[in-house]
Amino acid sequence: MTQATAATPTYSIRTRGLNLWYGDFQALKDVSINVKPGIITALIGPSGCGKTTLLRCFNRINERYGNVTTTGEVTILDKNIYDEDVSLSTLRKSVGMVFQRPNPLPISIYENVLFGVRSHTHRGEFNRRQRDEMVESALRDVQLWDEVKDRLRRRATYLTLEQQQKLCIARLLPLKPRIILMDEPCSALDAEGIERIEDLIDELREKYTIVMVTHNMAQARRASHECIFMLMGRIVEHGPTLDIFLKPKDPETELYVRGRYG
């Protein structure tokens, strides 16, 4: 797994015949999708349809839960991530993840930003100036630098929920990911926080492929460029967001986006 290819791939993520079981329960069924770079793709569908499971396939986090069986292919940046020679550590550097609830570590803002890169590099690999530059660059990219630059040594858990979520995104950036996965990244925030995080995500997609799980149909319509509608572990429909909402091809999609179920 490499962090870059000679040319930008047509698709950042491709799955072919992807199936996943938790024990005897099949959570994903013959999933085949193409996710484009440079856009925000939303995974939508009722609770339990497989959205988060699919998202977690893209960095193989599902395997942490045990008793998981996966078949099929997931190709990220032109490499099947289930090949035997794939390093999970390298994969998770290329494919970062932001969780539903902000999870800053109970250490300083400064050390939070550096936590991932410290975990993936040798001690002493970066000098103080380089570390300072990483921190400032990451915090600027998530629009947090001006708010925290004078209190970088303060514990991160004192930040607001919105600031904590921005910090969790910043923690990924020194690793230079190509893809960022987001699992309900705004669910813990108020309306103003949601708007600012959505604005941030839209800016980030110029540098990173963004795949986002959301239960919020207004957010999916407002913040994504393409939607993938899932139902009972299957892909029902995948297309431009406005097409999904205004002229869906499948009756099940129409029922869902009209709020008839789920």
Collapsing DSSP to helix, strand or coil, 195 comes out as helix
Environment class of 197 (CB within 10 Å of its CB; exposed 0-12, middle 13-18, buried 19+): buried
pLDDT tens for each residue of 66-115: 899 999 999 997 899 999 999 998 899 999 999 988 999 999 999 999 99
pLDDT tens for each residue of 213-254: 999 999 999 999 999 999 999 999 999 999 999 999 999 999
pLDDT for 5 equals: 44
φ, ψ of residue 27 in degrees (nearest 5)? -95, -30
* Contact in structure between 45 and 216 (CB atoms under 8 Å): no
Look-up of token digits 């492929």 = 209
Question: How do the domains of the chain map onto residue ranges?
Answer: 13-106+178-257
pLDDT for 77 equals: 78
Give Cβ neighbours of residue 7 (< 8 Å, ≥ 6 apart): none
pTM value surpassing 0.75: yes
pLDDT for 126 equals: 85
pLDDT tens for each residue of 190-210: 999 999 999 999 999 999 999
φ, ψ of residue 74 in degrees (nearest 5)? -130, 110
* Contact in structure between 50 and 28 (CB atoms under 8 Å): yes
| Residue 187: HSE in the Cβ half-sphere, 13 Å Cα cutoff | 15
Average of per-residue pLDDT across 40-65: 95
pLDDT for 100 equals: 87
pLDDT for 117 equals: 87
Tell me the average pLDDT of the chain: 92
In CATH terms, is domain 13-106+178-257 a member of 3.40.50.1370?
A: no
